[in-house]
Amino acid sequence: MDIAALLTSAGINIAVCVVLFSFYSVLRKQPSNVNVYFGRRLASQHSRRIDLCLDRFVPSPSWIVKAWETTEDEILAIGGLDAVVFVRMVVFSIRVFSIAAVICTVLVLPVNYHGQERMHKHIPFESLEVFTIENVKEGSKWLWAHCLALYIITFSACTLLYFEYESITKLRLLHIIGSPPNPSHFTILVRSIPWSSEKSYCEMVEQFFSYYHASTYLSHRLIYKSGTVQKIKDDAELVCQVLRAGSLENTCKPCFMQCCYSVPLTNSFKKISDEMDCKHERTGYTDVHLDSRKKECAAAFVFFKSRYAALLAAQILQTSNPMLWVTDVAPEPHDVYWSNICIPYRQLWIRKITTLVASVAFMLVFLIPVTFVQGLTQLEKLQKTFPFLTGMLKKKFVNQVVTGYLPSVILVLFLCAVPPMMMLFSAVEGSISRSGRKKSACCKVLYFTIWNVFFVNVFTGSVISQLSVFSSVTDLPAQLAKAVPAQATFFTTYVLSSGWASLACEVIQIFPLLCNVFRRFLLWFKDDELEGSLSFPYHTEVPRILLFGFLGFTCSILAPLMLPFLLIYFCLAYLVYRNQIINVYVTKYDGGGQYWPIAHNTTVFSLLLAQLIALGVFGLKRSSVASGFTIPLLICTLLFHQYCRQRFLPVFKSNSAQTLIDMDRKDEHCGRMKEIYEQLRSCYNQFSLMPHTLTQAECSNESNHHDDKGSSQSSQDMEKGKEIIQKDRSWPAPRTMSIGSDKAVVGVL
């Protein structure tokens, strides 16, 4: 590939970005698109009155100015700590790659360009390999420039990583200390409750924790099976009971007549269930005549009188059998993934193995499109395979598009199927929280993209075409040293196609925009029916940011021509993502900055791999001095990573006893504990269940006797259940802490 092909790819992507950004600046001003581009403001203000410019059809950069002027405190109040951490990832990338771009452009790029004694062509017709380390001859004394640049980049990255890790750790402690009382701090999730033929799960939980945690146990809430499948099963069982009782004609004839004459396509099970609801004066699908024990799960939320007691109960082993009474820290009420709570604990290890095997199989299947993409970058092989394309590929513009733009675009289109698939795998895996499911999907997508975009492209593009197999594992650095510089040009075009264009597609929200047009102008939905909220797709955007950082570190001294394009991407990402956090995405739950350890580990891995590849390159170029100086750099990077793991990572894994005890004493001193206890009983409600089941469970927790399951629900219980739901919707309050007020955690750190 030559410079002209790279410039063709850059020109196409610049044109796409300019067009899409211009369209966005116009579309966001249209009143019909308010729910697409201002979803967060609609959800927070409960109003469709958005400040719109009068020049509705003229592109303007006002959104860029607003995104730039928004402070980090406002980002924290709007998007939570996860949003701040994500923006910090982008800021870290801008800082470190600004340093790398300056160093490599001034120091490394001239050495690469003049590495061989050769006649150079005009710049547009030069091959991109001339600007890589491949152009440096063996035994060159100028390789010290590459080693020095590697040292500067590594020390800059480690220094910035340390200060970011320390700052985000303080923010996490402020997130715990400065926020209103969090019900998850008083709550644990208990799974694998032993089954008893004499007692229900509810009685077993109360008996166990009243005996072994008598001084700290407050109450509990049992978890019931819910969802569409359970509703269908209950309705079917209700019909069977009606048929067996011989009362089908008396109780269901009106509903059958209504189904036959008025709405022929209505589900008869639902009609029968609704008719029985009216007959027995109930409003939910939970039938009082069905055995409620069949709906109980072997799991419950257990509430304690203090945060420290809950933390202690969640971390210790409850019985000598580790497969029974399994405890874990409960997620926040709005973060609970109810579909996975009822999964039997003994199935989790099987599910994890299954998802691992499925993920590996999906990676192997994905080798097919990656190999096809690499075939497009090698025109000679492509012409031999498809001789009828020879004449077309000889055209200059077609040649530049096929080699410089088409491969990365095809790979990006195939990669669009990866995040939904990994989200499905994470759900099957058994995550108990929505943030945990998204974090697990984020790691899977990250591993998948690094493997397929980097390693598979490297090996299928160069190494496999030269060598059939590796002779030994020790040859891996040398083979990477040969392969990565050869594929650096593809990675540069991938940054253009997947980076710049993805930001333009992100800001314009193509899929929500098309859905809005379809629902508004074809289905004639009203404005109040179009309101929808999207949460920030961390499982797709965090891996994308980290992947580009990975490519930047590994190719910085090998192909420094990539760095300016990469720096432009991160600057655009800073503005685009801030705009999306401010206007589009709704924060439904906050993971507490759990994505930063992933970013830290990925960055350190990128540095280590870059140093390992540089070590192989220096060995191939027969530069013993540069190779010798690279080994201490590897050791220092590993020591730095281990220090950060010991110093900061435990804060992200668990809350400290010191912090929780101080919070408990503060609440006791202020007299807020009684209010917190009252709110705890209503925070973990299953909204898929109606007040009958919730009230019944609550009554069983508060007293030692149980109501007769064959009796109908009273209207007082129904009213109480409604009050419970209303209380849950208004608690806890939104977090509005300030980033600047970090004095409270200085002593802790």
Grade residue 132 by pLDDT with cuts at 50, 70 and 90: confident
CB contact burial 424-446 (16+ within 10 A = b; e otherwise): ebbbbbbbbbbbbbbbbbbbbbb
Grade residue 597 by pLDDT with cuts at 50, 70 and 90: very high
Grade residue 711 by pLDDT with cuts at 50, 70 and 90: very low
Cα 744 to Cα 83, 169, 616, 659, 749: the distances in Å are 22, 13, 48, 11, 10
In tens, the pLDDT along 283-337 reads 343 444 345 556 788 899 999 999 999 999 999 999 999 999 999 999 999 899 9
Antiparallel, parallel or unpaired: β 326-329 and 217-224 = unpaired
Question: Is residue 3 pLDDT above 90, yes or no?
Answer: no
Q: Are 307 and 179 in contact (CB under 8 A)?
A: no
Sheet of strand 296-304, all strands in order from the earlier edge strand to the far edge:
217-224, 296-304, 187-191, 326-329
In tens, the pLDDT along 50-109 reads 454 446 667 778 888 999 999 999 999 999 999 999 999 999 999 999 999 999 999 988
Q: How many CB atoms lie within 10 A of CB 447?
A: 15
Q: What is the mean pLDDT of residues 613-632?
A: 87
pLDDT score at 55? 60
Ranking 562-571, 614-623, 648-657 by mean pLDDT, the lowest is: 614-623
- The CB-based long-range contact list for 566-572 (8 Å cut-off, 24+ gap) reads 566/97, 566/101, 566/495, 566/499, 567/94, 567/97, 567/98, 567/101, 568/500, 569/495, 569/499, 569/500, 569/503, 570/90, 570/93, 570/94, 570/97, 571/94, 572/17, 572/500, 572/503
pLDDT score at 308? 95
Question: Is residue 370 pLDDT above 50, yes or no?
Answer: yes
The full DSSP string for 665-699 is HHHHHHT-HHHHHHHHTTTS--TTS-HHHHHHHHH
Residues paired with residue 6 on neighbouring β-strands, in sequence order: none
Ranking 439-448, 492-501, 740-749 by mean pLDDT, the lowest is: 740-749
pLDDT score at 488? 76
CA dist., res. 674 & res. 477, Å (int): 63
In tens, the pLDDT along 160-179 reads 999 999 999 999 999 898 87
Report percent pLDDT > 70 for the chain: 70
Nearest to 41 by CA among 584, 593, 613, 626: 584
Question: Is residue 273 pLDDT above 70, yes or no?
Answer: no
Ranges of beta strands (E only) in 97-203 are 187-191
Q: What is the mean pLDDT of residues 573-579?
A: 94
Grade residue 391 by pLDDT with cuts at 50, 70 and 90: low
Ranking 523-537, 661-675, 724-738 by mean pLDDT, the lowest is: 724-738
Nearest to 703 by CA among 203, 301, 292, 213: 203
In angstroms, the first-to-last Cα distance of the chain is 52
Q: What is the mean pLDDT of the chain?
A: 78
Question: Is residue 399 pLDDT above 50, yes or no?
Answer: yes
Eight-class DSSP state of 705: S
pLDDT score at 394? 58
Q: Which two tokens stand for residue 680?
A: 């705890």
Eight-class DSSP state of 49: -
Report percent pLDDT > 90 for the chain: 38
pLDDT score at 235? 65
Question: Whole-model pTM?
Answer: 0.81
Antiparallel, parallel or unpaired: β 187-191 and 326-329 = antiparallel
Side chain identity, residue 330: A
pLDDT score at 490? 77
Q: What is the mean pLDDT of residues 197-213?
A: 92
pLDDT score at 644? 95
Q: What is the mean pLDDT of residues 240-244?
A: 70
Q: What is the mean pLDDT of residues 523-547?
A: 79
